[in-house]
Structure 1
Amino acid sequence: MLRESFETSLSYFLFLLFTGTSVVALIMAALAREDAYRAADKKTKPFWLIILGVTVLVNLLIPILFLSIIGLIATIVFFVDVRPALRQVTGGGKRRGGSSSDGPYGPYNGGR
């Protein structure tokens, strides 16, 4: 009985985790500019909206672990590959007042 309860809790947790991450990825994909996808050479905005939208729908309507894992892979690809490329193209993540020669501990002077 304890094992069944644990398995049910784990399944529910995984369902929430997979669905939550795919919803966040879908929102981020929707908020990014269309031209940023082309500039980053990462397919197109409609492509990623369809992939991530299908992932959200599958997680909500057909909660089969195998299908959810496939959707999670697409979501991870978006977070690890596409989103950083979009941020780099759009200039996101840069500090105000920083320069391209700044290192993690301040400006790099070239040994001067």
Structure 2
Amino acid sequence: MGVVGGLQYIVYLVFLLVIFGLAVWALVDAAVRPAGAFVSAGKRTKNFWLAILVAATVLSFLTCPPLYLLPIFLALLSAVAAIVYLVDVRPAVAPYTRRRGPRGPSGPSRGGW
């Protein structure tokens, strides 16, 4: 393997690992959101998104080196699923997710006079 081949392998490896990380991030985020938040936001159910993101995570894992069990276009489909969740569903569901810590007038001051 020459210098160019080695560089291509590194770029390919980083690309696939980023896709895998993106899928894992989306899966963990969907798992911690309450099921009612998805319905309140007008999105598909939590179970639907968990199934899609589990499949995306598994597919992206199986395309990573040294496995190479599946073609790269399946990793690209995994990236699409994770990106759709992170860009569309996650922001819509976020306002309906309970946040931890004090809120309202009794909560800690965030500045001001």
TM-score by length of 1: 0.78
Q: Higher mean Cα deviation, 35-44 or 63-72?
A: 63-72
Whether 1:8 aligns to 2:9 is: yes
How far has the Cα of 1:18 moved from its partner?
0.3
Q: Is residue 90 from structure 1 mapped to residue 91 from structure 2 by the alignment?
A: no
Give the letter aligned to residue 27 of structure 1.
V
Aligned residue type for 1:53: V
| Structure with more relative contact order (C-alpha pairs < 8 Å, separation 6 or more) | 2
Aligned-residue RMSD, C-alpha: 1.9
Show the counterpart of 1:103.
Answer: none
- TM-score, L = length of structure 2: 0.77
> Shift in Å at residue 90 of structure 1?
2.7
4+ residue stretches of structure 1 with deviation over 3 A? none
Encode CA deviations 1:46-93: one digit per residue, 9 max, x unaligned: 11101010011011124422111111011111111100011122366x
Query: Structure 2: 5+ residue runs without aligned partners?
Result: 65-70, 106-111
Q: What is the aligned-residue identity percentage? A: 34
* Count of aligned residue pairs for this structure pair: 97
Tell whether 2:66 aligns with 1:66: no
Q: Which one-letter code corresponds to 2:32 in the other structure?
A: L
Q: Any unmatched runs of 5+ in structure 1?
A: 99-105, 107-112
How far apart in 2 are the matches of 1:87 and 1:40? Answer: 9
